[in-house]
Structure 1
Amino acid sequence: MFVLSLVYLMLTIIRPQDYMPALTGIPLLPVVLLLAFLLWLGSNTKVFAGPQFLLLLLFLLALMVSDAANGWVGGALVQLKTFGPIVIAFFVLASAIAASPRRVVVAFFVFVLCSIVLALHGWNQTRVGVGWTGTPLSLDGRIQYVGIFNDPNDLGLLFATAFPMAVYLSGRGGFLRRVIWLAGAALLLYGIFLTNSRGAMLAVVAIGAVYLWRRRGLVTALVLSGVGLVGMMMMPSRLQQLDVSESSAFGRVDAWYEGLHMFLAKPLFGVGAGNFTDYNELTAHNSLILVLAETGFFGYIIWLAFVGYGFWMMLTILRQAPPPSDDAEQAKAWQVERGLAFTLLLSLTGLFTAAFFLSRSYTVLLYLVAALVVGEYAGARQRFPDLPHFRLADGWWRWLPIAMISIAALFVMVALLLHSA
């Protein structure tokens, strides 16, 4: 099951089925996922220790209900067909890696190695104009890949998510291994530069800010991340055009405005999953607003809780006092858990910072990273029972005020941006 989960992860990122003629028409991803799911069904190591399992099922229901409530009953089946495999992938991967910290590290290895392959593809594009997949540079000279990474912004999101994992891997082993993985991390940063994705560049700043916050305190994090942002804006990149009045930025803000008004028009179930562009020429360019507009408050609060619990879990491990023990091996094992949690917290920060400027609420990559988070926490609880058990029944109500405050904040943010344009 674990090996098949890694194969699924590899095929999801590298995607040979999208550009190799010999694989055209072969349903590699569905077959691998089906085999992993069957093994998961027959295993006795299933993991459900986390509210995200129920929340993801509820979110699938929200997607289906949103289409049905808008008069398209057949849309419910479409959502089941398209988002259902993502739910299965989440369940299988989270269970597979919960068995040991080593499995989380191996998943990091696969995730980073596949991301490096895509970064090398981008580097090759800049040299000859076309990558080995046959994909050329975008019209504005930015690198791109195939499939779900054909948008340079999606590539940047992937690289920003993988970057903390690469740095973590550099800290394991001897000097040569450290140099190799640090070179890989540097290549991912260069890949972000080649994507020229403002969201990905801001994600790197956010990752640095969270790292400094945990290591040096909030004031140092704010000061140095501010300096880093200014430095990035001085580089020859689209960050120099970070202005609301710039056409691309204004188009995004206008899409946010339209999305919020879709929510006001249909606040309970939204305009229907996948229907945003039926009401606006551009997609939402914001994962929060996309969910809010398409699934209404019902889907938004579920998705927000799903995301929020992931951050909460990793912070819980970092804030938990070390277990009282004189056993050196136990103390070392606890430090391993903390290192994994910190890495995943940084990856989540990069992922959702970039996703704030993209409509990636339903993309499989998001849920595979979430599976790593949930699997790590579930496994850590098995190894260290003093960690708290998150139960949706104990604190579901807290997400109501959080959701309402976040929605109000989105309205205020859009109003201020439009006023300053």
Structure 2
Amino acid sequence: GIMALSVVTAYWKTLAILETIEFAKILVAYLLIIGLVNSERRMGAFVWIYLVLIGWTAGSSLWGFFSGANRGFAMGIDRARGLALAWGHPNSLAMTLLAAVPFLYLLIPVERRRPARLVLILIFALSLLTIMYTGSRAGMLGVLVAAVALWWRTGRRPAMFVGITVALLCAALLMPYQYQMRMVSILDYQQDPSSLGRIDSWISGLHMFLDRPLLGVGPGNFGIAHGLAYSSPWRPSWLEAHSIYIQLPAELGLVGLVWFAGILFVVARVNRKTRQMLVAGGNVWSWHYRLAVALDISLVVLLFTGLFGHNLYRPTYYFIAGMSVALAYIVRQVAAGGPASAQNSAQGMSNKRWEVT
């Protein structure tokens, strides 16, 4: 509804309508998750399908990179690209894989089947390796944020902190030289054309918001507005926002800000209540609890990387929202002995299966 309203003030209304239609497809997927993932068995299957697809995405991207079939060159480095349109860009590929890292890290320890655990470990390794080869600075910083968040949420054990620190240092030292230089360029942004271009886009985005504070310049219209009205007519810049915190107010205005903040608040609140129910039932660090924590951390990582990427309409946000609502429903039903509990019982499922031993 908010996006449809913003069409009224959009610079290019056709583009805004098309963006709204594309986003409507994401909402349909969100509703399907809520409606269909309504039992423990279905949730387990859904998570497995998601992680296997992440593994395929990482593996196919690495294969394309090393074979040369799908390798890009930008910002002075070779970059891995995704095969699918939605995450073909190196940065989009990195964010897609990064969102799955908390799920993999937290669910590997409670997977009792050895072959399945090895598959998850392989997917985890492929995902981290692919993120590095995308050359995405936001992606690599996101790995650091994910590591800190996982350490913080899993007891803040000194040994784990030392292990994470050593692992990150080793990864930085073993990283190919071109990617090391790519990361170091963050510290010298004044000499980096990419960083300077982003700063220019951020300033333009603030002007867009000030000019159209209520509904913004329209969904998907940042680049068009930037080129037509917010850059030099002799040297127009069509660069996108490269920050969700600029894209959101610039494209959807104050109304969009309130809408998105509301989504984040509801998701965080739902996950918090889910964890509280699990703790009350004695299921601390069960599979369900770990999944709720993974959803929280994945959202935090996305919001952090959103500082450097215009990912407002990325499906991952709404995937996390749908998973959070579905998980909350399942946990409530199991606790109350409702339909989800009865279905699980009929299928031979029990909460104990996923508990840490």
TM-score bracket for this pair, using the shorter chain length: 0.7 to 0.9
Per the alignment, residue 359 of structure 1 pairs with 310
Structure 2 contact 54–123 (Cα < 8 Å) conserved: no
Deviations 1:343-368 (A, max 9, x none): 22222233333333211111233322
Per the alignment, residue 394 of structure 1 pairs with none
Q: From the superposition, tell whether residues 120 and 270 of structure 1 become closer, same or farther in structure 2 (CA, over 3 Å).
A: same
Per the alignment, residue 368 of structure 1 pairs with 319
For residue 75 of structure 1, report the CA deviation from its aligned partner.
6.3
Per the alignment, residue 143 of structure 1 pairs with 80
Q: From the superposition, tell whether residues 261 and 113 of structure 1 become closer, same or farther in structure 2 (CA, over 3 Å).
A: same
Structure 2 contact 2–255 (Cα < 8 Å) conserved: yes
Q: From the superposition, tell whether residues 231 and 109 of structure 1 become closer, same or farther in structure 2 (CA, over 3 Å).
A: same
Q: From the superposition, tell whether residues 219 and 311 of structure 1 become closer, same or farther in structure 2 (CA, over 3 Å).
A: farther
Amino acid aligned to 1:63? M
Equivalent of 2:39, from 100, 104, 114? Answer: 100
- 5 Å-filtered alignment, 1:22-171, equals 61-70=1-10, 77-97=17-37, 99-130=38-69, 135-139=70-74, 140-145=77-82, 146-170=84-108, 171=110
Q: Provide the C-alpha distance between the structure 1 equivalents of 2:161 and 2:248, rounded to a whole number of angstroms.
A: 30
Structure 2 contact 267–321 (Cα < 8 Å) conserved: yes
Deviations 1:219-265 (A, max 9, x none): 99999878877776654422121133222122222212221221112
Per the alignment, residue 290 of structure 1 pairs with 247
Amino acid aligned to 1:161? A
Q: Provide the C-alpha distance between the structure 2 equivalents of 1:74 and 1:180, rounded to a whole number of angstroms.
A: 45
For residue 217 of structure 1, report the CA deviation from its aligned partner.
4.0
Equivalent of 1:240, from 172, 175, 184? Answer: 184
Amino acid aligned to 1:177? A
Q: Provide the C-alpha distance between the structure 1 equivalents of 2:159 and 2:14, rounded to a whole number of angstroms.
A: 53
For residue 316 of structure 1, report the CA deviation from its aligned partner.
3.5
Q: Identify unmatched segments of 5+ residues in structure 2.
A: 227-237, 337-357
Higher relative contact order (CA closer than 8 Å, sequence separation 6+): 2
Structure 1 contact 125–137 (Cα < 8 Å) conserved: no
For residue 310 of structure 1, report the CA deviation from its aligned partner.
1.7
Is 1:192–2:131 an aligned residue pair? yes
- Say which SS state the counterpart of residue 137 (structure 1) adopts: strand
Structure 2 contact 274–327 (Cα < 8 Å) conserved: no
Deviations 1:147-200 (A, max 9, x none): 111100111111111222223442312333322311221111111111111111
- Say which SS state the counterpart of residue 362 (structure 1) adopts: coil
For residue 293 of structure 1, report the CA deviation from its aligned partner.
0.5
Structure 2 contact 11–224 (Cα < 8 Å) conserved: no
Per the alignment, residue 290 of structure 2 pairs with 339
For residue 144 of structure 1, report the CA deviation from its aligned partner.
0.6
Q: Provide the C-alpha distance between the structure 1 equivalents of 2:44 and 2:96, rounded to a whole number of angstroms.
A: 18
Structure 2 contact 16–221 (Cα < 8 Å) conserved: no
Q: How many residues align structurally? A: 314
Query: What is the RMSD of the two structures over their aligned residues, measured on CA atoms?
Result: 2.9
Per the alignment, residue 397 of structure 1 pairs with none
Q: Provide the C-alpha distance between the structure 1 equivalents of 2:128 and 2:14, rounded to a whole number of angstroms.
A: 43
Is 1:205–2:140 an aligned residue pair? no
- Say which SS state the counterpart of residue 361 (structure 1) adopts: coil
Per the alignment, residue 275 of structure 1 pairs with 221
Structure 2 contact 101–127 (Cα < 8 Å) conserved: yes
Q: Provide the C-alpha distance between the structure 2 equivalents of 1:222 and 1:247, rounded to a whole number of angstroms.
A: 35
Q: Provide the C-alpha distance between the structure 2 equivalents of 1:138 and 1:300, rounded to a whole number of angstroms.
A: 35
Q: Provide the C-alpha distance between the structure 2 equivalents of 1:82 and 1:191, rounded to a whole number of angstroms.
A: 27
Per the alignment, residue 315 of structure 1 pairs with 272
State the identity %.
Answer: 25
Per the alignment, residue 182 of structure 1 pairs with 121
Is 1:250–2:189 an aligned residue pair? no
Compute the TM-score of the two structures, normalised by the length of structure 1.
Answer: 0.67
Q: From the superposition, tell whether residues 282 and 356 of structure 1 become closer, same or farther in structure 2 (CA, over 3 Å).
A: same
- Say which SS state the counterpart of residue 270 (structure 1) adopts: coil
Q: Provide the C-alpha distance between the structure 2 equivalents of 1:321 and 1:168, rounded to a whole number of angstroms.
A: 16
